[in-house]
Structure 1
């Protein structure tokens, strides 16, 4: 008899979550045991299911979610259970998102345009304890890792640079987990303009990614 893999499905878009549940439950040996519509709920559901001895064996985690994003939820879950098997399933393949997700403890990273059979194969692979990242995503991870290694320098006092009002505005949205696209839509800017602002923010704060920038901004009480 095939062993059942119990899934916790974390996705804030109801239609997408329902569609994924339907696809997953059509697959023999796959059972969705819980759902979450935001990051905080995902962390709570994971703890609750474990307490009830209902798994979950694998977590499918979206990145862009309210209250707590997928990277933060992944880090919280892995902190409570280092053996957690989490797959990031998202529309975003930004280098810093990939790096942060893997650093947080994710064992898989897939884009939502992945074929259903590849999703199932990844679930089974991660369930067996083997990490799985799509080749094009893995290449981005290597690029980001290389960039961080090249930018690493001996610790020295960093000269603080003043952020512009627009950069502070973007930093606040960035700290809430908003993507460049969402920031652009909310502030009525071109996505390329937002990307340039984010690069300037990271440079001025002397940080390597969005998560570090948000953390440092809170420490300096910029938010």
Structure 2
């Protein structure tokens, strides 16, 4: 059973998300909170596997809450909930270690798919969401550092091919279809890429791909 915590200051949104998640056989909401500070205490008690965190909340906002949650002894994966009127915070959220982003009006099946994928460690995001996240940081993304350039150069040609498609927001299944690989093979490449780039998740790898200009290839 995948344990989920919902953090959003809007009670209607929390209740709606809970209804969708609790209807799934393999998912259960174990806690919810209306602000970041309450979320930290709730996470300590309930030990969720995943926290859905609204990026804008009164008091302790979603960015601070994300950092604090990831500092816990048993940190949950964090998925940011956003309406994309918060572009100035997206890059910082990625660097804070958020595993992914979801639009608040995402279809229920996309929400459930993202929760399951993140729990498996894949940080699988809807391609449209990933694309919007990357576009949102385009104007503020700095050039690659010398260390990042060296990390990028350590990738094999095939790993670069996979990274390019990650940067375009493709899922593992879509990458496999594009490169004529099994999904399992793609997962192996993604794991190697994350290790070589010292990226915590797929979104951070996509950010590197964008900054390196790979996503448009």
Return the TM-score normalized by structure 2: 0.60
Closer, same or farther: CA 58–151 of 1 in aligned 2, 3 Å = closer
Deviates further, 94-103 or 33-42: 94-103
1:46 corresponds, among 38, 43, 47, to 43
For the residue of structure 2 that corresponds to 1:133, the secondary structure is coil
Shift of the alpha carbon at 1:94? 3.7
User: Aligned equivalents of 2:108 and 2:69: distance in 1?
Assistant: 26
Unaligned runs of 5+ in 2: 146-217
Task: Show the counterpart of 2:30.
Answer: 33
Task: Show the counterpart of 2:83.
Answer: 91
Matched, 1:130 2:122: yes
User: Aligned equivalents of 1:26 and 1:134: distance in 2?
Assistant: 21
Closer, same or farther: CA 142–9 of 1 in aligned 2, 3 Å = closer
Shift of the alpha carbon at 1:48? 2.0
Task: Show the counterpart of 2:48.
Answer: 56
| CA displacement 1:33-84 (0-9 Å, x = unmatched) | 11101011011111122xxxxx311111111211111111001111224753
Matched, 1:65 2:57: yes
Contact (CA 8 Å) 2:6, 2:29: kept in 1 or not?
yes
User: Aligned equivalents of 2:132 and 2:84: distance in 1?
Assistant: 12
Shift of the alpha carbon at 1:30? 0.9
Closer, same or farther: CA 99–17 of 1 in aligned 2, 3 Å = same
User: Aligned equivalents of 2:19 and 2:106: distance in 1?
Assistant: 16
2:140 corresponds, among 139, 142, 147, to 147
Return the TM-score normalized by structure 1: 0.58
Contact (CA 8 Å) 1:7, 1:56: kept in 2 or not?
yes
User: Aligned equivalents of 2:25 and 2:13: distance in 1?
Assistant: 21
Shift of the alpha carbon at 1:150? 4.5
